[in-house]
Amino acid sequence: MTAAANHELPHVEYVRLIDEAARLDGVIAIHSTARGPAAGGCRLWTYPDAQTMLADAARLAEGMSYKNAMAELPFGGGKSVLRRPEGDFDRRALFEAFGREVEKLGGRYVTAEDVGTGVEDMEFAALHTSHVAGRSARPGFAGGDPSPWTALGVFEGMKAAAMFAYGSSLSGMTVAVQGLGSVGAELCHMLARAGAQLVVADIVDERAAGLADKLGARVASVGDIAGVDAQVFAPCALGGALNDAALDVLRAKVVCGAANNQLAAPHIAGRLLDMDVTYAPDYVVNAGGIINVSAEYLHEDENQVRARVMRIGPRTADILEQAGELHLPTSQVANRIAEQLMAQPAQANT
Ligand code: NAD
């Protein structure tokens, strides 16, 4: 089965997952395997119908192809999506059944946790397959919480974007950070150490107040954060932060943050270009987490993770320079580069 009939959906191979006894009803979507096994997390979510689930899986799998290729990982893109059973259900049975299905693919797809799933679920799956990451950390190997690596990649990308747009370091600049969860809070610490001034906002008031106390940051309301007087805006909450309303008030000339799918609609990329805003594409700068998860699967150590994450800075600079020369949206240039990379096998040293 493919998604080709629906022209809005990327072309993927679907592997349907059904195990009535375990209440498993899901799909693995494989978008690309040229660079290596299709890698992408397992989402547990409530879907109104199977069609919606398949569409979500296809789009998410495509997104993983771009992200993995751009991070120069030896992986293609895939994703698994499971329908959350109604009422109480046996998580162990569900994820063991999922693990058996992943194993049947013989390594063509590698899973990990995603929205709605966690380390324990992956441990259940791992009872039946070795093609799983995002498990408990083991001493000496990469693994564990990916958020600090994501924050480091965003920080490196932001330094590159600030240098490109303003010709200077982040020291003394004001950065507005939207969302102070695992990644946003860690990013704020890095920025404070680098001498940046912070304006922060979170829907959880205590998070903003606590961080403001610790780092001497100013708190803005959730409604105001996109429009505060700052050189850099860092969306680190949910997707879609860059919408028309946000752009109407945006004062920062650099946007660089951790959130996935920051562009609320395709035309936003063009608007950012017209406004002369330097946008560091989300999936380029937020790849630290997937780099860490991949390293776990590849049995790499922390030094190898750090080396890969530190490449995010120069990569971001390269994309911004190319986009500047071609006068194209940065996201368009990033996509072109990722498409070239995803069509070819990974180099031996990546
Ligand atoms: P998180 O859930 O720990 O934090 C999100 C924070 O945003 C929370 O504090 C929440 O209260 C806040 N928030 C939600 N809506 C908000 C709003 N409208 N305005 C202000 N704050 C709001 O998530 P996280 O792990 O820190 O991830 C942040 C973003 O980065 C997400 O979009 C995630 O998909 C993306 N991302 C995370 C990783 C990772 O390693 N954790 C990797 C890649 C991408």
User: Model confidence over 163-218: pLDDT tens digits?
Assistant: 999 999 999 999 999 999 999 999 999 999 999 999 999 999 999 999 999 999 99
**Ligand 1 center to residue 123 CA distance, Å?**
24
Rounded Cα gap, residues 260 and 52, in angstroms: 20
* Nearest one of 18, 82, 74, 87 to 56, comparing CA atoms: 82
- Token digits for 119? 């380390």
Check residue 350 and give its pLDDT. 55
Which of 119, 200, 203 maximizes ligand 1 atoms within 8 Å of its Cβ, making it the mutation to test the pocket?
203
Check residue 144 and give its pLDDT. 78
Listed in sequence order, the residues at least 6 apart from 327 whose beta carbon sits closer than 8 Å to its beta carbon are 273
Rounded Cα gap, residues 194 and 174, in angstroms: 11
Mean pLDDT computed over 96-118: 96
CATH no., domain 147-342: 3.40.50.720
């001034």: which residue's tokens?
A: 197
Mean pLDDT computed over 259-288: 97
Q: How confident is the model at residue 345 (pLDDT cuts 50, 70, 90)?
A: confident
Closest CA to ligand 1's atom 14: 237
Type of residue at 35: R
Check residue 346 and give its pLDDT. 84
C-beta 262 within 6 A of ligand 1: no
- Total-model pTM: 0.92
Contact 26, 83 (CB under 8 A): yes
Residue 290 has pLDDT above 60, yes or no: yes
Start and end residues for every CATH 3.40.50.720 domain found in the chain = 147-342
Closest CA to ligand 1's atom 31: 259
> 312 — phi, psi (to 5°)?
-65, -35
Of the given ranges (19-28, 115-124, 269-278), which has the lowest mean pLDDT?
Answer: 115-124
Rounded Cα gap, residues 63 and 259, in angstroms: 13
The arrangement of secondary structure in 13-68+76-125, i.e. its CATH architecture, is: 3-Layer(aba) Sandwich (3.40)
Dihedral sign, CA of 343, 64, 28, 102?
A: positive
- Residue 286 CA, closest ligand 1 atom number: 43
By residue count, the chain amounts to 350
* Nearest one of 73, 140, 142 to 306, comparing CA atoms: 142
C-beta 31 within 6 A of ligand 1: no
Check residue 1 and give its pLDDT. 39
Rounded Cα gap, residues 196 and 182, in angstroms: 19
Check residue 115 and give its pLDDT. 87
Residue set of the binding site for NAD(+): 179-184
C-beta 10 within 6 A of ligand 1: no
Check residue 5 and give its pLDDT. 43
Contact 288, 315 (CB under 8 A): no
111 forms beta bridges with: 132
**Ligand 1 center to residue 256 CA distance, Å?**
14
C-beta 144 within 6 A of ligand 1: no
Contact 187, 177 (CB under 8 A): yes
* Nearest one of 331, 285, 320 to 167, comparing CA atoms: 320
- Residue 258 CA, closest ligand 1 atom number: 30
Concerning whether 79 is annotated as a catalytic residue, the answer is yes
Closest CA to ligand 1's atom 27: 183
Contact 211, 217 (CB under 8 A): yes
Rounded Cα gap, residues 143 and 133, in angstroms: 8
Contact 115, 45 (CB under 8 A): yes
Check residue 68 and give its pLDDT. 97
C-beta 70 within 6 A of ligand 1: no
**Ligand 1 center to residue 254 CA distance, Å?**
19
Rounded Cα gap, residues 94 and 22, in angstroms: 5
* Nearest one of 93, 100, 102, 101 to 131, comparing CA atoms: 102
Mean per-residue pLDDT of the chain:
94
- Residue 178 CA, closest ligand 1 atom number: 20
Closest CA to ligand 1's atom 1: 181
Start and end residues for every CATH 3.40.50.10860 domain found in the chain = 13-68+76-125
C-beta 183 within 6 A of ligand 1: yes
Q: How confident is the model at residue 4 (pLDDT cuts 50, 70, 90)?
A: very low
* Nearest one of 158, 165, 162, 198 to 180, comparing CA atoms: 198
User: How is 31-50 classified by DSSP, letter by letter?
Assistant: EE-SSSSEE--EEEE--SSH
- Token digits for 21? 């006894």
Rounded Cα gap, residues 262 and 4, in angstroms: 26
DSSP 146: -
C-beta 39 within 6 A of ligand 1: no
Residue 272 has pLDDT above 80, yes or no: yes
Residue 2 has pLDDT above 70, yes or no: no
Type of residue at 29: A
Predicted-complex ipTM score: 0.99
Within a 10 A sphere around the Cβ of 244, how many other Cβ atoms? 11
